[in-house]
A and B are shown apart, each in its own frame.
Chain A
Amino acid sequence: MQAAFSGINLDCVTATVSSDIVPVPVRLADLVTEHKAIRLQKGTGFTSLSIARPGVCTSDYACESADRLFESGLASRTEIGAVIFVSQTHDYYFPSTSHLLQGRLHLPADTVAFDVGMGCSGFVYGLYLSACLLPSLGGRKVLLCGGDTTSKLAYPMETQSRAIMGDCGFAAVLSRTEKSHKEMRFLIQADGTRADLLKMPRGGARGVRTTDASGNILMERENFSYMDGAAVMAFTLKDVPASINELLAGSGQAAGDIALGVIHQPNRMTVEALADKLGMERERLPFTAGKYGNTASASIPLGIACLGSLPEGTILFSGFGVGLSIASCLMTGSETQILPVGSL
C-alpha cells in the first residue's frame, strides 16, 4: 500500500545501546576458533555487538532514550498525545509495554498507548502509524519508541544469529504542522506466505519455551530464533530494491534524488549489495552498525543517531525482514534534532 502525508515532522530521535559492547571473537569464544570469528567479523561487518546486561529489557532502552529527549528539552512530556512501542521483545504477554512506559515516563493520562509487534521494518511502521494518528491528536505529538533485545533469543550453539544480533532501543517524537512542503510517503508490503523464514517458534501462544526444573531454558533448537539466511538474502536482493523503486516511481523520483538512505542493517554485505542494486554510492546508503550489530526494529533510529545529522532533501528509510515485511518511507522537509547514542 502506498500513502502520502503532508505536514508531518520527525522532531527528534535518539537511541540507547548496552554499556556492554562485546567483540565478536569474545561473543563466539565457545563456538569457533579466533580465525573463524575474525572471518565472520570481516564478512558481516560487525566487529562488536551491543549485548544487553542481565535484567535489561528493550523497554529500559526505550525509556532511557525518551527520558533523554525530554530532559534535553527537545520534547516535553505534557505535549505527548500517543505512545507507540514497536518491538518483538515486549516485557510481558500483558499489559502492553506502551502502558508501562506511559507510567514510567509520566505521560498524560489521556495518552493513546499501544504496542506494535514488528521487527526489522518496525521503525517505518511506527512512522506510518504516527502520521495516521497525528491529525486526530488535536496538536499533540506522538512518542514513537521501541527496539529489540534479540541477542537473548539467538541459539547459543550456532554462530548464525549469535555473530550478528545486537540490542538497542530508541525514541522519537513526531508532530504535525501546517507546512505542506513536509512530506512522508510510504510503501508497505507484507508476505505472510514466507513467515517461516524468520521465526521465533516458541514463546507465544502456539508454543511454550521449555525449561528444566529450575526454570532454565532448555537448549532445544525451537526455543530460539530461526532464520533461513540464504532465503532471506534472496528476498532482500530481489524484493527490497523492487519495492524501493516502486515507492520512488510513485513519488516521481529516482534513486539519484535521494540525499541519504538510512536502512535496516542486517549486515554490511546486504547494505552494500542494496546500494549497488539501487545504483546509489555507498556513502549515500551507509553501513552504520559495525560496533553494535543487527538491532532489528532499532536499526534505523540507531543509524540516524550514529550519523548525528540528516541532510536537506529526500531521506529514504527502509526496513525489511521478519514477516516477511518491507516498509519504506521517503521523507522530505523534516527538521530533525538528533541526540548522540546513549548507553545503559
Chain B
Amino acid sequence: MEKELFLEKLTELTDTEMDLNMDTRLEDIEEWDSLSFVAFLAMCSTSFDKTLNPQDVKAAQTVGDLYALAGGCN
C-alpha cells in the first residue's frame, strides 16, 4: 500500500486535524485513543486482511510503526 493512501486512511480514522507523516509520534496525536486503536484493528482486518495482535499495536511508537504493522514496508 502507498504511504500517502495509508496516511489518508489514518487521518480519516482518527479524525485528527494534524498533518500526519511517517515520523509523527502517536503520543502527539490527541485522537490516538482507545477508539482509534480498535478502529485501526478493524481497518487492518477488513481493508488489508491483517489480523493484528493488540500488543503489537500498543507497542507502536510512530505512524511509521503502524504502517509497518498494516503491511507496508517502512
Interface residues of A (CB under 8 A from B): 39-40, 42-44, 160, 228-231, 233-234, 237-238, 269-270, 273, 276-277
Contacts and interface: CB of A to CB of B under 8 A. Distances in A.
A234 B54 CA distance: 7
B45 A230 contact: no
Interface stretch (B3-11, B34-42, B59-67): B34-42
Nearest to B51: A238
Given A160-B34, A234-B51, A42 B41 contact: no
Nearest to A230: B54
A40 B46 contact: no
Interface residues of B, number: 18
B35 A44 contact: yes
A228 B51 CA distance: 17
20 contacts: A43-B36, A43-B39, A160-B34, A228-B54, A229-B34, A229-B38, A230-B34, A230-B38, A230-B41, A230-B57, A230-B58, A233-B54, A234-B41, A234-B52, A237-B41, A237-B42, A237-B46, A270-B42, A273-B42, A277-B46
Counting chain B CB atoms within 10 Å of each CB, which of A228, A230, A231 scores highest? A230
Nearest to B31: A39
B27 interface: no
Given A40-B35, A231-B54, A277-B45, 5 more contacts: A160-B34, A228-B54, A229-B38, A230-B54, A233-B54
Given A230-B54, A237-B51, A238-B51, A43 B35 contact: yes
Interface string B14-55: 010000000000000001001111110110011000011110
Nearest to B16: A39
Contacts of A229: 34, 37-38
A165 to B, nearest CB: 15
B37 A230 contact: yes
Counting chain B CB atoms within 10 Å of each CB, which of A160, A231, A237, A238 scores highest? A237
A42 B31 CA distance: 13
Counting chain B CB atoms within 10 Å of each CB, which of A39, A44, A270 scores highest? A39
Nearest to B38: A233
A187 B12 CA distance: 37
B61 to A, nearest CB: 17
A273 B48 CA distance: 12
A276 B37 CA distance: 19
Contacts of B58: 230
A155 to B, nearest CB: 13
Nearest to B54: A230
A40 B46 CA distance: 21
B6 to A, nearest CB: 18
Contacts of A238: 45, 51
B36 to A, nearest CB: 8
Contacts of B45: 237-238, 273, 277
B34 A269 contact: no
Contacts of B38: 229-230, 233, 269
Counting chain B CB atoms within 10 Å of each CB, which of A39, A233, A270, A277 scores highest? A233
A273 B51 CA distance: 12
A273 B36 CA distance: 14
Given A234-B52, A234-B54, A39 B41 contact: no
B1 to A, nearest CB: 17
Nearest to B44: A237
A270 B38 CA distance: 9
Nearest to B47: A276
Contacts of B42: 233, 237, 269-270, 273
Contacts of A273: 42, 45-46
B51 A269 contact: no
A194 to B, nearest CB: 12
B39 to A, nearest CB: 6
